[in-house]
Amino acid sequence: MTISFSSNEADDDENVHGAIWIGTKPNEMNRLVIEQEDPLYYTSAQPGHVKDYTSPLQHHITVTDLKPQTTYYYRIITRKTVGELKELSNTLKEIKVAENILKEQEKAEFYNGTKASNRRELFLRQRRLAPPPYDSTQCACPDPDKVRFFRTFSRAGHGNPVFGVIGDIGQFPHSEETLEHLKKHFGDKIDSIILAGDLAYPELDHRRWDTFMDFLDDYPLVEYIPMHITPGNHDIDKPENGTNIFSAYEVRFRMPRIREVELGLYEGGYGKLDMNKPPYPLPYEYGNAYYAFQYGKTHQIYLNSYSRLDPGSKQYEWLVQELESVNRHQTPWLLVTFHVPIYNTFEVHQHDEQMFKMREHIEPLLVSHKVNVVFNGHIHAYQRTKPVAFGNVSDTGPIHIVMGAGGRNADATFLNEEPEEWVAVRDGTIYGYGVLEICNNSHARWDWVHTGQKGDYNKVYHQNISLPAGGTDHAY
């Protein structure tokens, strides 16, 4: 389990190092885990600004030796030096009432004499200026003394997990509805969240990454439910007057790494990228780009639609080895997530090079290794296919699910009025998310859950084509 958080602005002259105070009871957190690496940050050119953007310090702390099916409580701790954290750790080993001592130390440092009545105002001032669309100043910063929790799942090969699936979420009004609805109706039922790319929609303004993280704080699911991500085209983040790519996506998150990231620069020079025709390939290997892990009875693989996909590439060769390593007796469910779909019944993104590369190089591997379900985003709509292989309905192929209406405009029109043979359900009008429940070794339940309000359905811009008002999709 890796816990990530941000602290000071990196351009402050003050260093900050982090740790996690963790235990199985909220009043007996008796283990201090100090971050294993220096905090990270990045800089990027800002459109219309003379000064470059500098991110807050990003801390990623991996906690090992956790027991399965156990609730853990944790608090975030920061100090100026690792030495101070180590000294605190030694103190904790010697003193049984260490938690009270720690809390009093942090209160003294943080409040600096501030009265409790002004506490909310103090948290509120700590939030950055909020560019649209999400106004993060509407809520206060989380209490720095807040005790959070998470629950570990069963060990690999055991347990039937439930996953929330979201794509293209952003930080729009419908994004808020998605997280609010998910938390209200499934917050105590899902074990993990799959986010199929296009996270913050910063539109070159990296302050929107800050407000996106505030957004996740304001709808606190991921502080107790693990979230795994795959990169989308709006996560490339190449500045107009720069060549760095995927900076925020790689620095702000920490997925189960294969190895250290290899992240190059965009070789096409300056200028604004056309997100309707994102470039391929981009020099981004390992790190958060692609990875795999086991979760209960599932083996999950996340791919990068924008890294090289052809045989001989690092991603392709790793994927071949990963698929060959899957033990279907231990993990009978094989799930794969990437942003750009192979199957697309909608008019948009029909010419993306990534789609053709996935179809040419990756689909044969998915079929031959009997992948069960493929999750995608990219299209701001919903689509579930029948089991399909190479364009034909076939029991040998996986089911492909596009879950791209998590918050961004749900306005995709159909390519053809009559759905393709492989389409089971399609809709370009309704916002929502999905829930996948693994029932046993051979059965799973899929639910497409609607969000938004009546009247949110989008207009159709083609004559003689009518979109359905939408309906639920329950499948086993």
Tokens of residue 259, six digits: 């190895």
Within 8 A by CB and 6+ apart from 111, the residues are: 119, 122
Query: Length of the chain, please?
Result: 476
Helix runs in 295-381, H state only: 314-325, 353-357, 363-368
Alpha carbons within 13 A on the beta-carbon side of 116: 1
Q: Which tokens in the block code for residue 16?
A: 């900050």
Detail the DSSP E strand segments found in 179-280.
Answer: 192-195, 227-229, 262-263
Phi, psi of 366 (to 5 degrees): -65, -40
> How far lies 302's CA from each of 126, 231, 337, 347, 442, in Å?
35, 9, 5, 25, 22
CB-count exposure of residue 207 (10 Å: 0-12, 13-18, 19+): middle
Coil, strand, or helix at residue 166?
Answer: strand
101 Cβ contact list (under 8 Å, min separation 6) = 91, 95
What does the CA dihedral 424, 426, 430, 431 come to, rounded to 10 degrees? 70
Give me the catalytic one of 181, 234, 349, 369. Answer: 349
Is 299 tagged catalytic?
Answer: no
Return d(Cα 441, Cα 332) in angstroms, integer: 6
Secondary structure letter of residue 40 according to DSSP: B
Region of 296 (left: φ > 0; alpha: ψ -120 to 50; beta: rest) is left
Omega cis (within 30) before 281: yes
Q: What are the catalytic residues? A: 349
